[in-house]
Amino acid sequence: MNKTQIEIFDTTLRDGAQGEGISFSARDKLAVTEALDELGIAWIEAGNPGSNPKDADFFKLAKKLRLNNARLCAFGSTRKKGTQAREDAQLAKLLSADTETVVIFGKASALHVTEVLQTSLDENLDMIAETIDFLRSEGRTVFFDAEHFFDGLALNNEYALKSISTAAASGAARIILCDTNGGSFPGAVSGGTFKAVGLIRQHDAPPVLGIHAHNDSGLAIACSIAAVEAGCAQVQGTLLGFGERCGNTCLAALIPSLELKMGLRCLPDGSLARLTEISRRIAEIANRVLSDDIPYIGTHAFSHKAGMHADAILKIRASFEHIDPSCVGNGRHFLMSEQGGRAAIAERVREFSADIDKNHPAVDALSRRLKALESEGWAFDGADASFEILVYKELGLYKNFFDVIAFRVQSEYPAGKLLECCHAWVKVLVNGQYEMAAAEGDGPVNALDRALRRSLLGFYPELAKMRLTDYKVRVIDGKDATAAKVRVLIESTDGMSSWTTVGVSADVIAASCLALVDSIAYKLTRTESA
């Protein structure tokens, strides 16, 4: 049976780039484009060539790309008031991007027309019609973003509908209903979309309707689903939810629901299973830590901590998982803690040795070891890599790649003009050979991390791709004040995957060193076993 097709339109490179802390270079934008194309995204809104030179340069570079699934769109606005479309400089730059499809936005709210554009309602409709007519006369397919559509409906229902009717009559191929402020509820979006569907059907060549939702009320995904149920066949968003203010619809969390729960077709066959992998790759390009709790693709999405949950899910998956994690390229994850049971430990250990069950002596030993360590302040439910190292050691599978013989860390304040504020020296032993290295860093852990990896690079070149991405410190028992033990969690990446390790000590640098050693050992273990 053929599934209904829903077009996926990604605006990570335009709307997503407007999010706080997001800054893509031209090279980054090319890499994101290729990743989205690999996933099978239909449309990529790649930037506004009229707003900045970087976007204009990107479109020139993008002509060399060989895309298999995606089509690039350039983005701009309707002509300025009081000008002719043919003479509008912004539209000229939009055409210079040389994309077959262009996206323009225009006002669908009477309030914005009179108070923001400060023009007449009729002039705004002329701006919409003349801009679309001009771009079509230049051979472009035009998508029209009806900005503030749902807010406009609430204030002046007739005018909001007239704005999209004007775009349809002018030949827009897609009309996108925008919840620009992100404040609409799903019921309002559903009702507004029904009105738009009824109106658009009156035209001889009705355009496809789409939805563009922002997440200011935390309802972007719900509003997008409501719009699809009401008749929208295109969904806009950003793969990881990047965007202005609270962000846009997170497509990575929406697409699986549309495909797996609603039976709709969004991506080419087989592509959904690459969703987690490509999402992590784009997060890495954007230099953003992927949130652990993103539905479907986050590391917590299929994590289980309670012993009863683990036992139940091993008997029947559907007991505590709403889909098979492999459908989106993710995996089941048992969190190791004193709250977990032997069944969960055995399942994790079985990844390394298939013949182990919960009655195996190694499982019993690990259970006791885990509880003893947690009583000392260790916590492995957020440090899977350290737990894996623990398993390897218990099973006798661990290879000791190196030993840290000594290290020294010094800090100075204020930092000198030519020196960073911290310096570290490390001495390691690898295969009977001593190696020493020193490094500077922005802080003591950064300096220690650099020195440790520098001392090992000659033996293990693969560590050049590894870097620390997150660092957390927690005082375990505050009653001991400055003498208290601390728990350090370190997240590392090699650009393809991420992992977290833990260290505990009364000395924060010593705890950090323990976590760093586990992190490097984990990387080397995984590389050797690959």
pLDDT digits (tens, 9 = 90+) for 468-504: 888 889 887 655 555 578 999 999 998 888 899 999 9
* DSSP letters spanning 386-436: HHHHHHHHHTT------EEEEEEEEE-SSPPSSS-SEEEEEEEEETTEEEE
Mean model confidence pLDDT for the chain = 90
Mean pLDDT computed over 98-124: 97
- What is the CATH code of the structural domain delimited by 403-529? 3.30.160.270
Does 417 score more than 60 pLDDT? no
Burial, 92: exposed, middle or buried (Cβ in 10 Å; 0-12, 13-18, 19+)?
middle
Does 394 score more than 70 pLDDT? yes
Does 316 score more than 90 pLDDT? no
Does 1 score more than 50 pLDDT? no
Cα–Cα distance, 128 to 79 (Å, whole number): 8
Does 338 score more than 80 pLDDT? no
* DSSP letters spanning 12-33: TTTTGGGSTT----HHHHHHHH
Mean pLDDT computed over 505-512: 93
Burial, 25: exposed, middle or buried (Cβ in 10 Å; 0-12, 13-18, 19+)?
exposed
Does 231 score more than 60 pLDDT? yes
Q: How many residues does the chain have?
A: 530
Cα–Cα distance, 487 to 508 (Å, whole number): 8
Q: Which SS3 state, helix, strand or coil, does residue 458 take?
A: coil
Does 312 score more than 50 pLDDT? yes
pLDDT digits (tens, 9 = 90+) for 38-68: 999 999 999 999 888 889 899 999 999 999 9
Mean pLDDT computed over 207-218: 98
- What is the CATH code of the structural domain delimited by 7-285? 3.20.20.70
Instruction: Give the C-alpha distances (Å, rounded to integers) separating 310 from 31, 216, 283, 324, 498.
Output: 39, 35, 30, 15, 24
pLDDT at 271: 97
Q: Which SS3 state, helix, strand or coil, does residue 47 take?
A: strand
Instruction: Give the C-alpha distances (Å, rounded to integers) separating 299 from 174, 292, 294, 325.
Output: 36, 5, 8, 11
More confident residue, 339 or 369: 369
Mean pLDDT computed over 313-335: 81
Query: Which residue ranges make up each domain of the chain?
Result: 7-285, 403-529
pLDDT at 466: 92
Which of 72-76, 331-335, 350-354, 503-507 shows the highest mean pLDDT? 72-76
More confident residue, 504 or 351: 504
Does 166 score more than 70 pLDDT? yes
pLDDT band at 360 (very low <50, low <70, confident <90, very high): confident
Cα–Cα distance, 209 to 228 (Å, whole number): 9
Cα–Cα distance, 455 to 437 (Å, whole number): 5
pLDDT at 282: 94
Cα–Cα distance, 399 to 524 (Å, whole number): 9
Mean pLDDT computed over 105-133: 98
